[in-house]
């Protein structure tokens, strides 16, 4: 289990780290790209505005003709030369670093330089013969960013500026984003590890509790308080499952002890009678008496084994609900007729009041269950008492009710009266031949038929058993 929890912890940590890394990298990249786009956009807008200023100035002065020799120098009057200039960039904040000055060059249509200012020391830019019409081209050349436009009369205007400061700023920004990303990733990894451990720790507690739960010790339970909401629900489900397992094991252990005790009694009778008969020669009538006792004990043993087999079959088929439609009132009437001689022998009046009712079920199982109910009602009755079997129909159910005027059952015995081998009056039930399985078999049959089983009783006033079946439409 520890290997599983470690695997789960590392798997959660891996996916958390992967997702966090992609998110941080995506946000950092978006931050850098947006800053760079805004920075270059601001510089390009400034260069374009300067180029438009020069373009406007060119439109207001006469340009030299292109019929001059290509090598002839281009001269401008002092006034026009002053007009073809760019104002210096103001620096309103005294402490702020001064922005680099812009440089420009203007070419005539034939490629001759009309004017240039503050060109960098490296090789000057050349006339671009591919620039046509309203093209605006921006490019980086060395440490400068330059913008070209087509001016009046086929001239070309290039405005540029040094961008080493901006490039250094972007490098610093890259380092800052990297540092922030590493910090966020580190904090996220630590938090993710803590989170994954906090998620896995309750599962480890559940696993340890389940490991300690065994036949030798069924008391361990999961502490629901220390788990989260969803895990708390799971812990509650597991605790209830442990309770059911413990209850089932205790019932099976008690059932095994009771069954062995019940089986041992007739076997002890048979063994003692055989040993007594073989101890010395006896008269024929004594052998007949011993054999009769052995036969009675064998019959009781056979009935007990048959009841145990019936319970085992019912337990195996508990999840399989019978699906054959049948008339519950007819089965009840048949069971009443079968038990009437037993009732007359016990001086008990047995009557049936039935209404047509259809249910889904197994006729043999239902017949045995109803016979067991009637047998108990007659067995625990008194001379002159009565047993009434009623079948009636409700809106969505068919009810089978068995009422008797017998000795009744006290309140402390009612919750356990349907348990296997449980007897309210053990001495009396043994005298009557009961094994304590009749009511258990009846209840199990009704549970298999998806019916509800309810017993109410008052001592010395009788007992009422109510069974409600889903109706078959």
CATH of domain 230-316: 1.10.287.130
Q: In this predicted structure, what is the pLDDT of residue 312?
A: 66
CATH of domain 2-64+73-87+98-171: 3.30.450
Q: In this predicted structure, what is the pLDDT of residue 254?
A: 67
d(CA 60, CA 207): 90
Question: Domain map of the chain by residue range?
Answer: 2-64+73-87+98-171, 230-316, 325-470
Q: In this predicted structure, what is the pLDDT of residue 258?
A: 60
Tens of pLDDT, residue by residue over 88-124, are 665 554 545 567 889 999 999 888 889 988 888 777 7
Pick one of 1.20.1070.10, 3.30.565.10, 3.40.50.720, 3.40.50.80 as the CATH number of 325-470: 3.30.565.10
State if pTM tops 0.75: no
Q: In this predicted structure, what is the pLDDT of residue 1?
A: 47
pLDDT < 50 positions in the chain: 1, 4, 69, 93, 95, 427-433
């Amino acid at each position: 289990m520890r290997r599983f929890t470690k695997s789960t912890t590392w798997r959660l940590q891996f996916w958390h780290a992967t997702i966090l890394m992609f998110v941080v990298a995506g946000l950092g990249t978006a931050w850098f790209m947006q800053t760079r786009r805004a920075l270059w956009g601001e510089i390009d807008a400034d260069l374009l505005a300067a180029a438009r200023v020069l373009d406007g100035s060119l439109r207001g002065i006469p340009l030299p003709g292109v019929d001059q020799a290509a090598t002839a120098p281009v001269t401008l009057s002092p006034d026009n030369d002053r007009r073809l200039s760019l104002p210096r960039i103001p620096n309103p904040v005294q402490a702020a670093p001064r922005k680099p000055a812009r440089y420009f060059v203007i070419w005539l249509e034939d490629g001759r330089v009309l004017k240039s200012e503050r060109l960098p020391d490296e090789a000057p830019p050349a006339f671009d013969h591919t620039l046509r019409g309203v093209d605006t081209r921006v490019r980086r050349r060395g440490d400068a960013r330059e913008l070209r436009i087509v001016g009046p009369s086929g001239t070309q205007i290039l405005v540029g500026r040094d961008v080493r400061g901006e490039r250094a700023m972007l490098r610093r920004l890259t380092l800052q984003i990297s540092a922030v990303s590493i910090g966020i990733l580190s904090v996220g990894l630590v938090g993710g590890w803590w989170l994954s451990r906090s998620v896995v720790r309750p599962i480890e507690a559940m696993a340890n509790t389940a490991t300690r739960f065994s036949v030798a010790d069924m008391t361990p339970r999961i502490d629901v308080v220390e788990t989260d909401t969803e895990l708390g629900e799971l812990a509650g489900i597991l605790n209830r499952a442990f309770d059911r397992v413990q209850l089932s094991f205790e019932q099976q252990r008690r059932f095994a002890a009771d069954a062995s005790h019940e089986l041992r009694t007739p076997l002890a009778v048979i063994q003692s009678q055989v040993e007594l008969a073989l101890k010395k020669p006896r008269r024929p009538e004594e052998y007949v008496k011993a054999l009769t006792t052995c036969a009675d004990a064998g019959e009781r043993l056979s009935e007990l084994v048959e009841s145990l087999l019936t319970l085992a079959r019912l337990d195996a088929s508990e999840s399989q609900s019978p699906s054959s439609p049948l008339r519950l009132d007819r089965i009840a009437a048949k069971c009443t007729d079968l038990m009437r001689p037993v009732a007359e022998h016990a001086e008990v009046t047995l009557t049936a009041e039935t209404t047509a009712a259809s249910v889904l079920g197994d006729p043999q199982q239902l017949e045995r269950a109803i016979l067991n109910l009637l047998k108990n009602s007659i067995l625990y009755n008194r001379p002159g008492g009565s047993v009434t079997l009623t079948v009636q129909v409700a809106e969505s159910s068919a009810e089978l009710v068995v009422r008797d005027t017998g000795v009744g059952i006290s309140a402390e015995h009612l919750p356990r009266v349907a348990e296997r081998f449980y007897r309210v009056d053990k001495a009396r039930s043994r005298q009557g031949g009961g094994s304590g399985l009749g009511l258990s078999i009846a209840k199990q049959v009704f549970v298999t038929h998806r019916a509800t089983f309810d017993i109410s009783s008052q001592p010395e006033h009788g007992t009422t058993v109510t069974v409600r079946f889903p109706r078959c439409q």
